[in-house]
Amino acid sequence: MEFGGGLLHQEENALDRHQSGYSETVSLEYETRPLLSGSGEGADAASEDGLHPEKAVYRPDYDGAIDSSKETPTVQQGTGENANTDEKAEPETGAAGVVGKGAKSAKQEDASSETKSEPNAKPETKAASEPKSGKVLYLTFDDGPSRYTPEVLDILKREGVKATFFVLGEHVEQYPEIAKRIVEEGHAIGNHTYNHVYEKLYGSFGDFASQIMRTDDAIYEAAGVRTTLVRAPGGTYANFDKGYFDALEAAGYRVHDWNVDSGDSKRRGVPAAEIMSNIKESRIADTLNVLLHDGVGHEESVKALPQIIRYYKELGYSFEVLSDEVKPMQFQLADRPKWSRGAVRDKDREMLVSFGKQLDASGERNLSPYREPALIIHRGEETLVLESDQYELIRGVIHVPLLTLTEWMGGEAELDEESGVIEAFMLGKRVFWMTDTWPPKEEDESLMMDVPLRATLSEFGLDITDYVITSERREVWIEE
């Protein structure tokens, strides 16, 4: 057997996870192409062209901080009344309008639709087929965590999607390990007050502020992060007045409503089919904030979730998480609030503002560091999910574990302990790798070798048919 060299560009070489050295595939010579460039010009060109997604950086002093009374988009609120208030659900807002021109339902959308681009939308990474169009979707879940939240997280991981969870403080205290998992898996977590009791929250701002602070502390205790994200139970329309908005903003919080209501809380036990129908009949805009629930009584929402995600993917939306840098979407102020209360008292406002300033001064109120998204590889009906620490993106080239890839595709990989040669057999073909540092420093180290995805698939006669690479989503489709 002869082991040739120089068959691959250096950036397409296999890389050992423990940095023991590069390896080279031995097979027929072929043209190597960085995954992100799609041009065969080399990974360096891909990097220079800016194809690497930029990492999100949390900046509490961001210059684009929103003045909710002046610049924040407002959404016209509908007048539906929720029949399920005992389950702590949002009021029906199916008639809510969308900021910007040309807001239509999916059934009405056509090529002549005029929409506004979200000014803070992240730049997209150009893919081979360019399936993205700059449309951004924020998938949000209220009222958790609950026993259904782990299943929601499993679905999001499988679909390669990130979401934002507005949690109740009392539920965080009940399920701290789930709150921690939300953050660890790269999702955003927001404050939905402590107990969702409208009479307390909207009877006086003092009670609302106390619940915000109590929930903030519960999140920090469970997940180790502070959040500036707030969603008002029932939404802000007719519940908030300008005093609520101003006090929360002064304390450093960003209040987010929504512009797509899944209708999963308008009554008890809304079936998955009806939820999906509500989604499809909702307005379409460049930026969507979709309201769902993962609390008790919302198992049908979990059933509908995979179909909801597929629907919006087909419409070309990228899924992102809310952050301090995202301009909040808010309902307009009602002419006549539904609650009889006085103006926000100075002492209640100062209590919350002082709390926020203390968090900022201590450095606690920083969102968790950016996590690379999971890599989702599709082949027919099969899906391989690699978490951020299981693959690498190096100068425009995706590297994946050889053993994991081979076994997932029904093949085998074996190591010759005397020579350090790895033989992979798959789809009727054999490919060999040889490390240039042998023996390894640790047992089985060489089988942890990362190999370039496109180049390795090409060795076995396969190609990548499509992919999406952004800061929040990484998916690859390979031919069957």
Same domain flag for 303 and 403:
no
Q: Where are the alpha helices (DSSP H) in 367-452?
A: 402-408
- Would 64 be classed as within a structural domain? no
Same domain flag for 352 and 400:
no
Same domain flag for 274 and 346:
yes
CA distance 324 to 61: 9
- Would 62 be classed as within a structural domain? no
Q: What average pLDDT does the structure give for the chain? A: 74
Residue where a domain stops, chosen among 362, 384, 400: 362
Does residue 83 contact residue 72 with C-beta atoms inside 8 Å? Answer: no
Close Cβ partners of 318 (under 8 Å, ≥ 6 residues apart) = 124, 132, 135, 136, 137, 468, 470, 472, 473
**243-257: average pLDDT:** 96
Supply the pTM of this predicted model. 0.57
- Would 2 be classed as within a structural domain? no
Same domain flag for 242 and 265:
yes
- Would 5 be classed as within a structural domain? no
Same domain flag for 380 and 291:
no
User: Higher-confidence residue: 175 or 429?
Assistant: 175
Residue where a domain stops, chosen among 362, 395, 418: 362
**248-261: average pLDDT:** 96
- Would 68 be classed as within a structural domain? no
**264-292: average pLDDT:** 95
- Would 177 be classed as within a structural domain? yes
Same domain flag for 34 and 175:
no
- Would 344 be classed as within a structural domain? yes
Q: Where is mean pLDDT largest: 44-58, 371-385, 459-473?
A: 371-385
**In sequence order, what DSSP letters do the residues of 282-336 get, joined into one string?**
SEE-SEEEEEEE-STT-HHHHHHHHHHHHHHHHTTEEEE---TTSPPPEEPPPSS
Q: Which residues are catalytic?
A: 142, 293
Residue 200 phi/psi, 5-degree rounding, is -75, -45
- Would 58 be classed as within a structural domain? no
CA distance 192 to 320: 19
**Structure tokens given for 267:** 């009554």
**Structure tokens given for 109:** 């959308």
Residue 38 confidence (pLDDT): 33
**386-400: average pLDDT:** 87
User: What residue type is assigned to position 446 of the chain?
Assistant: S
Same domain flag for 315 and 390:
no
Same domain flag for 257 and 385:
no
**279-300: average pLDDT:** 95
Q: Where are the alpha helices (DSSP H) in 299-372?
A: 299-314, 346-362
- 305 forms beta bridges with none
Same domain flag for 298 and 186:
yes
Residue 434 confidence (pLDDT): 65
Q: Which of 43-47, 104-108, 179-183 has the lowest mean pLDDT?
A: 43-47
User: Higher-confidence residue: 318 or 371?
Assistant: 318
Same domain flag for 153 and 261:
yes
Q: Where is mean pLDDT largest: 167-171, 374-378, 457-461?
A: 167-171
Range of the domain at 421: 10-53+372-478
Q: Which of 19-33, 68-82, 138-152, 319-333 has the lowest mean pLDDT?
A: 19-33
Residue where a domain stops, chosen among 312, 344, 362: 362
Residue 106, domain CATH:
3.20.20.370
Model confidence pLDDT, tens digit, residues 61-96: 323 333 333 334 445 444 333 434 334 444 333 333
Domain count, the chain: 2
Same domain flag for 239 and 388:
no
Same domain flag for 420 and 322:
no
The Cβ of residue 310 has, within 10 Å, a number of other Cβ atoms equal to: 11
Residue 93 confidence (pLDDT): 36
Model confidence pLDDT, tens digit, residues 426-436: 777 787 776 65
